[in-house]
Amino acid sequence: MKEHTFLEIINPVKDKMYRLALRLLTSKEAAEDATQEVILKLWNRKQKIKHYANVEAFAMTVTKNYCLDQLKLKQNNNLRIVHQNYESKNQSLQSEIEVNDEMEWLGRIVASLPEQQKMIFQLRDIEQYDYDEIAEIMEMNQTAIRVSLSRARKAIRENLIKKHNYGIK
């Protein structure tokens, strides 16, 4: 497989790999490094890639496993969330602070979820993967994925409601 062919296969998936790595490692630099390492691993296995039915699911699985290995090594324990999903030039300072605060709370809530729920939430609600693809990536059955996703959404919703209702009787 030539470099051009490999890049045609990997480029559409590269951003999704980065976003998954960012969600798991919570640092832009660590996510960029992880994405580069995974692409390098895929390049080293380039002859086997054409035998996979779903290259995107394979790439996401490799990314997930690499990030989990990095977290186990505890190199990334001191990383903090630097996550901004929303930018607008026409916001007032107060609105900008409120959005930043809300994103920080949401990041904390998602980070407090169990690892499996966090990953399924990322793949389904952020990356918009189908349940079949998530089942292949996570190596789980669809029923377990749906249950885990439901529990993650419920925990996020309850924590946000609790935060918003704080001090209200």
- At which of 47, 80, 113 does a domain end? 80
Are residues 66 and 97 located together in one domain of the fold? no
Tell me which amino acid residue 11 is: N
Are residues 30 and 68 located together in one domain of the fold? yes
How many other C-beta atoms can be found within 10 angstroms of the C-beta atom of residue 80?
Answer: 9
Are residues 68 and 21 located together in one domain of the fold? yes
Distance CA 77, CA 111 (A): 12
Q: What is the pLDDT of residue 121?
A: 92
Which CATH number belongs to the domain containing residue 140 in this structure? 1.10.10.10
Which CATH number belongs to the domain containing residue 14 in this structure? 1.10.1740.10
Q: With contact defined as beta carbons under 8 Å apart, do 75 and 66 qualify? A: no
Q: With contact defined as beta carbons under 8 Å apart, do 103 and 86 qualify? A: yes
Please give the model's pTM, rounded to 2 decimal places. 0.54
Q: What is the pLDDT of residue 4?
A: 84
| pLDDT > 90 fraction of the chain, expressed in percent and rounded | 33
Which residue range forms the structural domain that includes residue 142? 89-169
- At which of 63, 80, 97 does a domain end? 80
Task: Compute the average pLDDT of residues 69-75.
Answer: 73
Average pLDDT of the chain to the nearest whole number: 83
Look at the chain and report how many structural domains it folds into. Answer: 2
Q: What is the pLDDT of residue 166?
A: 76
- At which of 80, 112, 136 does a domain end? 80
Distance CA 98, CA 60 (A): 33
The total number of residues shown for the chain amounts to: 169
Q: What is the pLDDT of residue 99?
A: 81
Are residues 94 and 163 located together in one domain of the fold? yes
Tell me which amino acid residue 71 is: L
Q: What is the pLDDT of residue 46?
A: 82
Which of the 8 DSSP states describes residue 82? -
Are residues 72 and 106 located together in one domain of the fold? no
Confidence of residue 76 (pLDDT cuts 50, 70, 90): very low
pLDDT tens-digit profile of 20-60?
888 888 788 888 999 999 999 988 888 888 788 888 888 99
pLDDT tens-digit profile of 84-116?
444 445 667 777 888 888 888 888 899 899 999
Alpha helices, DSSP H only, in the chain?
A: 3-25, 28-44, 46-49, 55-72, 93-112, 115-121, 131-138, 142-164
Q: What is the pLDDT of residue 91?
A: 61
